[in-house]
Chain A
């Protein structure tokens, strides 16, 4: 028996194993129960390893996903940085374009509101030397630019043309030591000569000691230099020093405070034709003389006292009004005839207007074309702004052939011999004031 069992022990074990499992199955089916112990063993044996593998997988996957995410983020960051750089460049370009457009608009507006005929030009280079400064603009003889023409911006004068070429011109800056222009203060109409100092600043010379010039006061062109028409802003006084005979007045030029990129060349500041071929020995372009201030003053009803171009003009005007008040006609009396009483107080002339109210000089109808200097405070108290020049305040460009326009192509006259009498009518040739 034992030998038989040993002989068939394998098949016996098999049968037992299978039978046991069948019984186990039958019990599970019959009782609808589970065998939790076997499952616990199996799950306990397998799940820790599965958990470890899953942790490793998660870690590896997380590592690689993080790596690729970072790589992607780096790539994205690089692309975005490039995009930001490109947009910055584009933004800068558009800002420059906008600024250029705004400058062009300002220049156009200035051209429209300024009676002088101007052409726009772009600064294309500088020729800076020791102590001097000039710039090159892209307008030359082909555009009608002539030597001596004024170059301005809406902020103020920039300089004058010192050399012209077919398609370019050289402009001497106001800050150059070789530059000079006639200027006039805003409040008291003190006249002087503006000169560059070579360091970006300018000085007003030939202002006698005692004449009142305040720091912060504006200076405008007086038109006496025959280059710049009257009324263009020049700059602001930054310091005033009293000297023995003349004051040292330093100006900060407003036209070159920031390096201008676009400028205006005044090709016809007044009603004056530019010579077709300037003389070889004197090729400097000269603008017509300024009109007498009486014209502008008459238009605005402002007292003429203190409105003249020079101190002598003011005194002559005052004496004439005093004579008119005494029914005196200058130049008619015989020798020995008593002169008028120049100490007589005439209201509105050398006495306050409110004293009598019938100042003959003031109530006189204003002459046609009388202009007011820009920036002058009128009798009404409202100050007139420095810019843009009001109508009539500057020599107005009129078409040639009018009564006030000289014949086309007529040579420019030197100012000294041209000054008309004070009673000059608008039909008379334009008067001029000698350049100090």
Chain B
């Protein structure tokens, strides 16, 4: 049993080391997430993917693993703005939400052992709810859109995103390199 299964919190800076990735991973992974988000829902049987926010999971992952607030908010902002652009809505809605999620993820990633699956599960669950709530607030506050926040469906989707996030993080862990 390694240490990540024993502890949820990091004790020192040595444990909070930054994970390195090849440069292409930072381009290909978000691009793939966006492609999946906009392409697969074209098929009738894969329409449910529209409800899965893969760019959000990618933002959380890189923010957590890089443990850099600046990188986290940058990744979140870029992915959010691209998502806004591709979804033909006011640019900045997802940008603001994912910027905040990226910043907070990086901040929390410095306090927790993000290698732990339970931590990843909880963080994905919490950040999804936070992202959706923030987006709903922005919709109502900035765009004055009378949308409802369906807490039940959002909780279910948060669970789905948590499970998917754990699986996705496991796959993305294969791409990292250690110093």
Q: A1 within 8 Å of B by Cβ? A: no
Chain B residues with CB under 8 Å of A17's CB are 73, 77, 99
Question: Do A21 and B103 form a contact, CB below 8 Å, given A13-B73, A42-B86, A53-B35?
Answer: no
Least distance between B133 CB and chain A CB atoms (Å)? 16
User: Beta-carbon contacts of B74-111 to A below 8 Å, as 1s and 0s?
Assistant: 00010001101110101111011001100100000000
Select which of A18, A29, A45, A53 is within 8 A of B96 by beta carbon.
A18
Q: A413 within 8 Å of B by Cβ? A: no
Chain B residues with CB under 8 Å of A79's CB are none
User: Is there an interface contact between A21 and B69, defined as CB atoms closer than 8 Å?
Assistant: no
Distance A22 CA – B39 CA, assembled complex (angstroms): 28
Chain B residues with CB under 8 Å of A14's CB are 69, 73, 99-100, 103
- What count of chain A residues pass the 8 Å CB interface test? 25
Q: B143 within 8 Å of A by Cβ? A: yes
Chain A residues with CB under 8 Å of B82's CB are 42, 45-46
* Range class of the B interface residue count: 20 to 34
Distance A50 CA – B38 CA, assembled complex (angstroms): 9
Select which of A28, A43, A45, A49 is within 8 A of B91 by beta carbon.
A28
Q: A26 within 8 Å of B by Cβ? A: yes
Q: B70 within 8 Å of A by Cβ? A: yes
Distance A347 CA – B84 CA, assembled complex (angstroms): 129
User: Is there an interface contact between B38 and A46, defined as CB atoms closer than 8 Å?
Assistant: yes
User: Is there an interface contact between A28 and B99, defined as CB atoms closer than 8 Å?
Assistant: no
Q: B9 within 8 Å of A by Cβ? A: no
Residue picked from A21, A25, A39, A43, most chain B C-beta under 10 Å: A21
User: Is there an interface contact between A25 and B35, defined as CB atoms closer than 8 Å?
Assistant: no
User: Is there an interface contact between A22 and B85, defined as CB atoms closer than 8 Å?
Assistant: no
Least distance between B145 CB and chain A CB atoms (Å)? 11
User: Is there an interface contact between A21 and B34, defined as CB atoms closer than 8 Å?
Assistant: no
Chain A residues with CB under 8 Å of B69's CB are 10, 14
Chain A residues with CB under 8 Å of B142's CB are 22, 25-26, 29
Interface of B is mostly: helix
Distance A178 CA – B82 CA, assembled complex (angstroms): 109
Question: Do A18 and B100 form a contact, CB below 8 Å, given A26-B142, A46-B31?
Answer: yes
Chain B residues with CB under 8 Å of A53's CB are 35, 39
Question: Do A43 and B96 form a contact, CB below 8 Å, given A13-B73, A14-B69, A35-B91?
Answer: no
Question: Do A22 and B92 form a contact, CB below 8 Å, given A17-B73, A39-B85, A41-B85?
Answer: yes
Distance A45 CA – B88 CA, assembled complex (angstroms): 15
User: Is there an interface contact between A46 and B70, defined as CB atoms closer than 8 Å?
Assistant: no
Chain A residues with CB under 8 Å of B143's CB are 25, 29
Q: A70 within 8 Å of B by Cβ? A: no
User: Is there an interface contact between B92 and A43, defined as CB atoms closer than 8 Å?
Assistant: no
Chain B residues with CB under 8 Å of A25's CB are 90-93, 96, 138, 142-143
Select which of A10, A13, A21, A43 is within 8 A of B85 by beta carbon.
A43
User: Is there an interface contact between A38 and B35, defined as CB atoms closer than 8 Å?
Assistant: no
Least distance between B88 CB and chain A CB atoms (Å)? 8
Least distance between A21 CB and chain B CB atoms (Å)? 4
Chain B residues with CB under 8 Å of A29's CB are 90, 142-143
Distance A46 CA – B79 CA, assembled complex (angstroms): 12
Q: A24 within 8 Å of B by Cβ? A: yes
Which chain A residues in 14-61 approach chain B with CB under 8 Å? 14, 17-18, 21-22, 24-26, 28-29, 34-35, 38-39, 41-43, 45-46, 49-50, 53-54
B68 nearest in chain A by CB position: A10
Select which of B38, B85, B86, B92 is within 8 A of A28 by beta carbon.
B92
Chain A residues with CB under 8 Å of B96's CB are 18, 21-22, 25
Chain A residues with CB under 8 Å of B95's CB are 21
Distance A192 CA – B143 CA, assembled complex (angstroms): 124
Distance A26 CA – B141 CA, assembled complex (angstroms): 11
A41 nearest in chain B by CB position: B85
Least distance between B177 CB and chain A CB atoms (Å)? 25
Chain B residues with CB under 8 Å of A42's CB are 81-82, 85-86
User: Beta-carbon contacts of A380-400 to B below 8 Å, as 1s and 0s?
Assistant: 000000000000000000000
Distance A25 CA – B90 CA, assembled complex (angstroms): 7
Distance A250 CA – B85 CA, assembled complex (angstroms): 105
User: Is there an interface contact between A38 and B85, defined as CB atoms closer than 8 Å?
Assistant: yes
Chain A residues with CB under 8 Å of B86's CB are 42-43, 46
Question: Do A49 and B35 form a contact, CB below 8 Å, given A17-B77, A25-B142, A39-B85?
Answer: yes
Chain B residues with CB under 8 Å of A34's CB are 91
User: Is there an interface contact between B91 and A38, defined as CB atoms closer than 8 Å?
Assistant: yes
Distance A35 CA – B40 CA, assembled complex (angstroms): 26
Distance A132 CA – B69 CA, assembled complex (angstroms): 115
6 contacts across the A-B interface (CB closer than 8 A): A10-B70, A14-B99, A22-B92, A42-B81, A43-B85, A50-B39
By Cβ-Cβ distance, the 5 closest A-B pairs, closest first, are A42-B85, A21-B92, A25-B92, A10-B69, A39-B85
